[in-house]
Amino acid sequence: MSKPLVYLVTSDSQSELDADNRLLLPALEKRGMEAKVVVWNDPNVDWNAANLVVVRSVDDYAFCREEFLEWARSVPRILNHADVLTWNTDKHYLRDLGERGLPTIRTTWLEPEQNLSKHQIHARFPALGDFVVKPAVSSGGRDAGRYTANSASSRQEAILHAVDLLSQGRSVMVQRYLEEIDQHGELSLIYVNGLISHVVEKEPMLHSSITGPDAANIPVEEVTVVRQPEAEEWRWGEEIRAVLHGYVKERLGRDELFLFNRIDLVRKNDGGYYVMEISLVDASLYLNLSQEALDNVADAISQRAFW
């Protein structure tokens, strides 16, 4: 009897997977599966041959989203499901979830079809404090910049950043930078097959006015702790998951069990949390920092491959 075949999907720029996901190869082999790394837009791959296709290091989808989604819809047994990928690759999903009651960050949306002038863009920026400009379709924090509202030069850079993104036909998000990030950092709650696996504590990632040609200087996020959730964090996660699954079921008509789901949070100073992102596409799961995390994800893939 042949082993179940699992494809771990990556991009051409990471054709051997990144260091995090590469650990899944021996972990899956240990669980009685044959695991192969494949590039999502490689025309020579037989997608029907796999028992399971797991999307992992697809860091280029933001630059060719329609092509990526067309591919995803053509692949049998892909996880997460193509309908979920379609919804989650555009951060307008945060507006959807905010309307359902989740405490997302207040966002001003700038759309290409609005044909906004520089003055109109300027008027939509916050009057005080720091703020972030980023595209609605992006991966890994690319093309995001943090600016200072009370600096004329910084606001000018932000305007040019937004104009550049809009000229490419990309929707733009403008969000107040949360000072709570500097105080508390970020939390990522990571779920596999609907169960919480581990929690990751991270330091802030964006520094002031980092965008465009300086993007290569963006500091890599610093993970300080990988651990099990505290009771309060578990309750937050269950609250968010209930809203998320209810919305996906209503919106997509699917009672979907996500293979993986990363929920990024920031603690509020007055209690509670903000939902920063919900990542169902190519989220880093930090498997190289915890053997337990690696085992949990490998077990989850094994379970789905044998279903």
Over residues 82-112, the pLDDT tens digits come to 999 999 999 999 999 999 999 999 999 999 9
Residue 234 has pLDDT above 80, yes or no: yes
- Alpha carbon 247 to its chain centroid, in Å, reads 18
Of the candidate ranges 215-229, 231-245, 249-263, 278-292, the one whose mean pLDDT is the lowest? 215-229
Average pLDDT of span 267-285? 93
Average pLDDT of span 185-206? 89
Over residues 46-63, the pLDDT tens digits come to 999 999 999 999 989 999
Domain 93-104+180-205+216-286 CATH superfamily: ATP-grasp fold, B domain (3.30.470.20)
Residue 257 has pLDDT above 80, yes or no: yes
Give me the pLDDT at residue 142, please.
84
Residue 221 has pLDDT above 70, yes or no: no
Select 5-83's CATH number: 2.40.30.60, 3.40.50.20, 2.130.10.10, 3.30.465.10. Answer: 3.40.50.20
Neighbours of 133 (CB within 10 A): 26
Residue 152 in tokens: 């004329």
Residue 211 has pLDDT above 50, yes or no: no
Residue 244 has pLDDT above 80, yes or no: yes
Rounded Cα–Cα distance for residues 299 and 143 (Å): 35
Average pLDDT of span 141-159? 93
Listed in order, the ranges of the chain carrying CATH 3.40.50.20 are 5-83
CATH 2.60.40.10 fits 107-177, yes or no: no
Residue 3 has pLDDT above 60, yes or no: yes
Best CA proximity match to 189, nearest among 221, 228, 154, 218: 228
Give me the pLDDT at residue 139, please.
83
Residue 208 has pLDDT above 70, yes or no: no
Rounded Cα–Cα distance for residues 95 and 98 (Å): 5
**Average pLDDT over all residues of the chain:** 91
Give me the pLDDT at residue 251, please.
86
Give me the pLDDT at residue 140, please.
76
Listed in order, the ranges of the chain carrying CATH 3.30.1490.20 are 107-177
Best CA proximity match to 31, nearest among 286, 258, 301, 307: 301
Contact 149, 131 (CB under 8 A): yes
Average pLDDT of span 190-203? 94
Listed in order, the ranges of the chain carrying CATH 3.30.470.20 are 93-104+180-205+216-286
